[in-house]
Structure 1
Amino acid sequence: MRRQSLGFAMAALAALWSAPAAAKGCSLGAVGQTVRISIGDTGRSAMLHLPTGFSRGRAAPLVMLLHGSGGTGAGMLESSKLASAADGHGFIVLAPDAGIPVQKGFVWNIPGVPSVTGKMPGAEDADDVTFLEGAIDWLAANRCIDPSRVYATGLSGGGRMTSWLGCVAADRFAAIAPVVGLRAGNPLAGDKRVPDPATCQPSRPMPVIAFAGDADRTNPIQGGGAGYWQYTMATALTRWSDLDACRVGPVQRDLDPKTYEVRYSGCRAGAEVIGRITRGAGHVWTADNDAMWAFFAKHRRR
Structure 2
Amino acid sequence: MRRQSLGFVGLALAAWAVPAGACTLGAPGTTQRVTIGDTGRSLLLRVPAKARSRALVFALHGSGGDGAAILAGSKLGETAERHGFILAAPDAGIPVEKGFVWNIPGVPTVTGKVPGPQDADDVAFLGKAIDWLAAKGCADRRRVYATGLSGGGRMSSWLGCVASDRFAAIAPVVGLRSGNPSASDPRFPDATTCTPARPMPVIAFAGGKDGTNPVEGGGAGYWQYPMRRAEARWADLNGCRHPLPERTLESGVIERGYTDCRGGAAVVARITPEAGHVWAADNDAMWRFFAKHRRP
Asked if Structure 1 and Structure 2 have the same fold, meaning a TM-score greater than 0.5 normalized by the shorter chain, the answer is: yes
The residue matched to 2:200 in structure 1 has which SS?
Answer: coil
Q: Distance in 1 between matches of 2:30 and 2:84?
A: 13
Asked if 1:181 is matched to 2:175, the reply is: yes
Displacement of 1:27 in angstroms is 2.1
Q: Which has the higher helix share?
A: 1
Paired residue type of 2:67:
G
How far apart in 1 are the matches of 2:80 and 2:149? Answer: 17
Q: Does 1:219 align with 2:213?
A: yes
In the alignment, is residue 263 of structure 1 matched against residue 257 of structure 2?
A: yes
SS class of match (1:124): coil
Provide the residue aligned with 2:76 in structure 1. 82
Report the secondary structure of 1:135's partner residue: helix
SS in 1 for 2:140: strand
Does the aligned pair in 2 maintain the 1:34–1:48 contact within 8 Å? yes
Please give the alpha-carbon distance, in whole angstroms, between the structure 1 residues aligned to 2:245 and 2:189: 22
- For the 8 Å contact 1:29–1:37, the answer to whether it is kept is no
| 1:27 equivalenced with 2:24 (yes/no) | yes
Say whether 1:196 aligns with 2:190: yes
Q: In 1, distance between residues paired with 2:45 and 2:21?
A: 19
- The separation in 1 between residues aligned to 2:162 and 2:104, in whole angstroms, is 11
2:155 is aligned to 161
Bigger Cα displacement from structure 2, 28-37 vs 278-287:
28-37
**Which residue of structure 1 aligns with residue 3 of structure 2?**
none
1:36 aligns with 2:33: yes
Between the aligned partners of 1:155 and 1:206, the Cα distance in structure 2 is 19
Within 1, Cα distance between the matches of 2:71 and 2:55?
17
- Root-mean-square deviation (CA), in Å? 1.4
Q: Which residue matches 1:105?
A: 99
AA aligned opposite 1:60 = R
Q: Distance in 1 between matches of 2:21 and 2:246?
A: 48
| Counterpart AA for 1:53 | K
**One-letter amino acid of the counterpart of residue 284, structure 1:** V
SS of the equivalent of 1:164 reads: helix
Task: Show the counterpart of 1:299.
Answer: 293
Question: In structure 2, the residue corresponding to 1:46 is in which secondary structure?
Answer: strand
Residue 52 of structure 2 is aligned to residue 52 of structure 1? no
Q: What's 1:133 paired with?
A: 127
SS in 1 for 2:59: strand
1:208-262 deviation per Cα after TM superposition (whole angstroms, max 9, x unaligned): 0000011000000000000000000000000000000000004211112520101
1:3-57 CA distance string (max 9 Å, x none): xxxxxxxxxxxxxxxxxx9x854321221011111111110111000011137xx
Q: Which letter maps to 2:34? A: I
SS at match of 1:239: helix
Question: 1:63, 1:250 → 2: CA distance?
Answer: 26
Q: Is 2:255–2:268's contact at 8 Å kept on the other side of the alignment?
A: yes
Alpha-carbon distance between aligned partners in 2 of 1:182 and 1:25, rounded to the nearest angstrom: 33
Alpha-carbon spacing, 1:24–1:301, altered in 2? closer, same or farther (3 Å): closer
Cα distance in 2 for partners of 1:113, 1:257 equals 35
Same amino acid, percent of matched pairs: 66
State which of 43, 60, 65 in structure 2 corresponds to 1:66.
60
Contact kept? 1:37, 1:48, Cα under 8 Å: yes
Equivalent residue letter for 2:38: D
Mark the runs of 5 or more structure 2 residues left unpaired by the alignment. 1-17
Q: Decide whether the 8 Å contact of 2:22 with 2:54 is kept in 1.
A: no
CA distance in 2, matches of 1:114, 1:156: 14
Structure 2 CA distance for aligned equivalents of residues 245 and 54 of structure 1? 34
Equivalent-residue separation in structure 1 for 2:247 and 2:162 (angstroms): 31
Contact 2:170 2:201 in 1 (8 A): yes
Q: For 1:133-154, what per-residue CA distance to the aligned partner results, in whole angstroms no more than 9, with x for missing partners? A: 0000000111121110000000
| DSSP 3-state at the match of 1:147 | coil
Question: 1:113 aligns to what SS in structure 2?
Answer: coil
CA–CA separation in structure 2 for the residues paired with 1:39 and 1:115: 25
Give the letter aligned to residue 42 of structure 1. T
Q: Partners in 2 of 1:280 and 1:125 — Cα distance?
A: 37
Stretches of structure 1 lacking an aligned partner (at least 5 in a row): 1-20
Give the Cα–Cα distance (whole angstroms) in 1 for the partners of residues 114 and 50 of structure 2: 43
